[in-house]
Amino acid sequence: MSDFTWGNSTSEGAAWPKRIVAWLVRHPPAFTLILIVLVSVIVGAISPEFWQISNIFDMARASVVTGMFGLGFLMILAAGGIDMSFTAIAALVMYWITTAVAAYMPSMPMPLILLMAAAGGTLLGVCNGLLVHYLRAPALIVTIGTQYVIRGFLLTFIGTELFVNVPTSIESFGKYELWQVETDSGSIAVLPAYVLVLVVAAIVTWWILNRTLMGRAIFAIGGNSSIAERLGYDLRKVHVFIFAYAGLLAGVAGMLHVSSNRLANPFDLSGSELGVIAAVVLGGARITGGSGTVIGTILGVILVTLVNNVLILAGIPSSWQTFVVGCFIILAGTVFASRERT
């Protein structure tokens, strides 16, 4: 009897790892959260400075622009597309609006500037959506093309010239404080108010994806566009909407980037696309579409930001940051791929 009980308990113990993996497969954001905790514990053990409130505020600040891009990319990925033009849209919008406001309307209030950025980004996004729909070409190919068009335009007519005479309203917005804390060393740690823009964008994105007919259409088209079209979903409306929304967030993100850095560089965001894609994939979204969550995307952004900003505290060279993110993507991909087999 004891042997039987021992064998049963052993088999039950052996089943626990499978149960844990199965649970993580059903809850991808939990897996991302575990990676965040592991990295934090390891870095914190090596360098206790990691736990300072100033580091947490710095991470929150660094996550805003990536998070805005990630939410827009999530919307497109959930519908089965891939966008590579969002940083180019942000660069064009931020440079054009910053220089125009400085030249003609230097006293324009920041809310109106953000509305202009949102409108400019939306217009460029609509162009992407219409091209994807009417050309019947993969979104990846179309948006690589529009990225090159925008980058070529910037390079031809602007070059690599930095614009440092940022209007006062834009510069002041980046200095607004949401929370201020005095550290043990006597320095002041500041959490900027513009992190609230990411909070609002996350809430709106969650509402669209989970509480509207458009959100249902996005996931349906991402799952199988042919079946979704036969069920009555309008592919043109969905394509235009998701790219317009991603463009809107990219335009706003561009202005937040200018506000936080106090300068407009037309090529400052170039090359950050893969980090955004990594964040969304690490958050549990399928690269083939039909799935994805806002909380998972935000956690993925935090993980990528964590790797890119604090590994140096653990004595790991910055050149290894991409390597670590790549390992996490492979690990997450291995776990999340189990969804395809179940």
188 vs 114: which has the higher pLDDT: 114
Question: Residue 194's closest CA among 208, 178, 182?
Answer: 178
- On the question of pLDDT at 8 being above 60, the answer is no
One-letter amino acid at 25 equals V
φ, ψ of residue 165 to 5 degrees: the values are -85, 65
Cα–Cα distance for residue pair 31/24, rounded to 1 Å: 6
Query: Percent of the chain having pLDDT more than 90?
Result: 55
The pLDDT, as a whole number, for residue 340 is 55
- On the question of pLDDT at 147 being above 80, the answer is yes
One-letter amino acid at 181 equals V
Alpha helix (H) residue ranges in 161-287: 168-175, 195-211, 213-223, 225-230, 235-261, 273-282
* Helix, strand or coil, per DSSP, at residue 291: coil
Query: 111: Cβ–Cβ under 8 A, 6 or more apart, which residues?
Result: none
- On the question of pLDDT at 4 being above 50, the answer is no
91-108 tens-digit pLDDT: 999 999 999 999 999 889
Per-residue 3-state assignment (H helix, E strand, C coil) for 3-32: HHHHHHHHHHHHHHHHHHHHHHHHCHHHHH
Q: How confident is the model at residue 13 (pLDDT cuts 50, 70, 90)?
A: low
The pLDDT, as a whole number, for residue 10 is 53
The pLDDT, as a whole number, for residue 30 is 87
33-71 tens-digit pLDDT: 998 999 888 888 888 888 888 888 989 999 999 999 999
| DSSP code per residue over 138-167 | -HHHHHHHHHHHHHHHHHHHTTT--B----
151-205 tens-digit pLDDT: 999 988 887 778 888 999 999 999 999 888 877 776 788 899 999 999 999 999 9
All structural domains of the chain, each given as residue ranges with its CATH number in brackets, are 29-44+51-337 (1.10.3470)
177, containing H or E segment: strand 177-182
> Scanning the structure block, which residue is given the tokens 């910055």?
318
The pLDDT, as a whole number, for residue 5 is 47
- On the question of pLDDT at 32 being above 70, the answer is yes
Cα–Cα distance for residue pair 89/94, rounded to 1 Å: 8
The pLDDT, as a whole number, for residue 342 is 52
Give mean pLDDT, residues 240-257.
Answer: 97
Cα–Cα distance for residue pair 258/19, rounded to 1 Å: 47
The pLDDT, as a whole number, for residue 331 is 79
The pLDDT, as a whole number, for residue 124 is 97
Cα–Cα distance for residue pair 300/284, rounded to 1 Å: 8
Mean pLDDT, the chain, whole residue set: 87
What the block records as the tokens of 15 is 């089943």
Q: How confident is the model at residue 279 (pLDDT cuts 50, 70, 90)?
A: very high
